[in-house]
């Protein structure tokens, strides 16, 4: 074991804890700081989404609102492996991706409530937010369309030879769209630096993977194009980051696209109006109790890294404060000026 890896090994708080957290062979480990970071990031998404659900119930958020609760480890682990300047694009379940990209929770929440301080000045809503600064390209409401767009981001990277990678997310439902395979073909043909992240949360709206997919192993969906793929435990932020590191390196080094199937789970319904008749309550609670991505890290922090509970509670409080401030802002920020109706339709041509 080299020095760097040795240094990365956590110091167990007790022999029992070491046994309880004994990694499976090759299971990647996080340092104390990495686990603290992951905990903070995932908790921020969780609390933000819970608050969004609450505001939706109060009628402050309209239309569609798709929550990311349960899937936090995917985007947080991916971002821990990404470099600054790598682009991110996803579908409509996108709040978590924005926060993980470093977008301001106030701007995201204010967009959800349709206020002028929202990222899209209130014109996009839950499914349509963007940040050029953070290289977050949306936020797309047509299932699967973001896959071709993300491939285009990779095309631009290759065209510019800038060494960046496009992280293109889709769900298990989107993975059945035709343009996904058109995109795979071009990405493989032109060796574009794209990592396709298929977030398999088991249900496309109410249709289970088994009822919609002839090939349920999504890591194999690029086989006929020669695109390598991996299935990853998407509930464990460590395995996510580990696989993401390999996939991103593959893409960045000019070897072309890579597919990561993230096996994950959404706790909430597809959208706010989902009665969830297609799965049992037991299934949901089993995932929550046994595989919760945040709880796993929390336990590691306490038991493996020996982080004092007070420190974790301080993080909890800090996250809650950020989220409350975003809700406060999003509730009090005024609606867009009526004149905004007519702006941002076309850009002025420069002479």
Residue 230 DSSP label: E
Residue with tokens 């470093």: 102
Query: Strand runs (DSSP E) across 224-316, as ranges?
Result: 229-233, 258-263
Nearer to another protein, 152 or 234 (CB): 152
The reply on whether position 68 binds another protein by CB under 8 A is no
Q: How many Å is the Cα radius of gyration of the chain? A: 20
Q: What string of DSSP letters covers 151-218?
A: HHHHHHHHHHT----EEEEEETTGGGSHHHHHHHHHHHHTT--EEEEEEE-SEETTEEHHHH-S---G
Q: What's the rounded Cα separation, in Å, for the pair 218 and 117? A: 38
Residue with tokens 């998404």: 45
- Shortest distance in whole angstroms from residue 100 CB to another protein: 19
Among 32-40, 145-153, 198-206, 316-324, the segment contacting another protein (CB under 8 A): 145-153
How many CB atoms are located within 10 Å of the residue 20 CB? 13
Q: What's the rounded Cα separation, in Å, for the pair 202 and 218? A: 11
Q: Which residues contact 9 (CB under 8 A, 6 or more apart)?
A: 29
Number of residues that bind another protein (CB under 8 A): 49
The secondary structure element, H or E, covering residue 56 is helix 32-57
Among 31-39, 95-103, 123-131, 249-257, the segment contacting another protein (CB under 8 A): 123-131
- Shortest distance in whole angstroms from residue 120 CB to another protein: 4
Q: Kindly tell me which residue out of 10, 70, 77, 150 binds another protein, with binding defined by CB under 8 A.
A: 150
Q: Kindly tell me which residue out of 42, 75, 100, 145 binds another protein, with binding defined by CB under 8 A.
A: 145
Kindly state the tokens that stand for 22: 């004994």
CA torsion angle 253 148 140 206 (round to 10):
-100
Nearer to another protein, 3 or 349 (CB): 349
Residues 124-143 that bind another protein (CB under 8 A): 124, 128-132, 137-142
Among 22-30, 147-155, 199-207, 263-271, the segment contacting another protein (CB under 8 A): 147-155
- Shortest distance in whole angstroms from residue 304 CB to another protein: 41
The reply on whether position 149 binds another protein by CB under 8 A is yes
- Shortest distance in whole angstroms from residue 226 CB to another protein: 15
Nearer to another protein, 192 or 287 (CB): 192
Residues 176-215 that bind another protein (CB under 8 A): 178-179, 182-183, 185-186, 189
Q: Kindly tell me which residue out of 96, 152, 222, 234 binds another protein, with binding defined by CB under 8 A.
A: 152
The reply on whether position 64 binds another protein by CB under 8 A is no
Burial bucket for residue 69 (CB in 10 Å: 0-12, 13-18, 19+): buried
Q: Kindly tell me which residue out of 71, 79, 87, 201 binds another protein, with binding defined by CB under 8 A.
A: 87
How many CB atoms are located within 10 Å of the residue 191 CB? 14
The reply on whether position 252 binds another protein by CB under 8 A is no
Q: What's the rounded Cα separation, in Å, for the pair 336 and 326? A: 17
The reply on whether position 48 binds another protein by CB under 8 A is no
- Shortest distance in whole angstroms from residue 2 CB to another protein: 38
The reply on whether position 347 binds another protein by CB under 8 A is yes
Q: Which residues bind another protein (CB under 8 A)?
A: 87, 89, 118-124, 128-132, 137-142, 145, 147-157, 159-160, 178-179, 182-183, 185-186, 189, 343-350
């Amino acid at each position: 074991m080299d020095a760097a890896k040795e240094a990365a090994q956590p110091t167990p708080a007790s022999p029992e804890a070491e046994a309880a957290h004994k990694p499976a062979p090759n299971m990647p480990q996080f340092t104390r700081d990495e686990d603290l970071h992951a905990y903070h990031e995932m908790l921020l998404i969780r609390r933000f989404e819970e608050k969004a659900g609450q505001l939706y119930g109060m009628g402050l958020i309209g239309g569609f609102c798709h929550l990311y609760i349960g899937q936090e480890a995917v985007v947080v682990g991916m971002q821990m492996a990404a470099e600054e300047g790598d682009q991110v694009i996803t579908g409509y379940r996108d709040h978590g991706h924005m926060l993980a990209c470093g977008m301001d929770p106030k701007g995201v929440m204010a967009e959800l409530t349709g206020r002028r301080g929202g990222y899209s000045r209130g014109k996009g809503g839950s499914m349509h937010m963007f940040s050029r600064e953070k290289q977050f390209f949306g936020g797309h409401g047509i299932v699967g369309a973001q896959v071709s767009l993300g491939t285009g981001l990779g095309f631009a990277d290759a065209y510019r030879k800038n060494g960046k990678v496009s992280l293109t997310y889709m769900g298990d439902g989107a993975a059945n769209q035709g343009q996904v395979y058109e995109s795979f073909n071009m990405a493989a043909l032109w060796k574009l630096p794209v990592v396709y992240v298929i977030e398999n949360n088991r249900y496309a709206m109410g249709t289970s993977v088994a009822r919609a997919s002839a090939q349920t192993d999504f890591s194999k969906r690029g086989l006929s194009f020669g695109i390598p793929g991996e299935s990853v435990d998407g509930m464990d932020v460590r395995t996510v980051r580990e696989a993401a590191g390999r996939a991103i390196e593959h893409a960045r080094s000019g070897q072309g696209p890579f597919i990561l199937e993230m096996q994950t789970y959404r706790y909430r319904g597809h959208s706010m109006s989902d009665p969830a008749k297609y799965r049992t309550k037991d299934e949901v609670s089993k995932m929550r109790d046994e595989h919760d991505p945040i709880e796993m890290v929390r336990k590691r922090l306490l038991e493996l890294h020996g982080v004092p509970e007070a420190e974790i509670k301080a993080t909890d409080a800090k996250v809650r404060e950020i989220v409350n401030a975003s809700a406060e802002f999003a509730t009090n920020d005024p609606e867009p000026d009526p004149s905004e109706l007519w702006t941002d339709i076309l850009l002025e041509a420069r002479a």
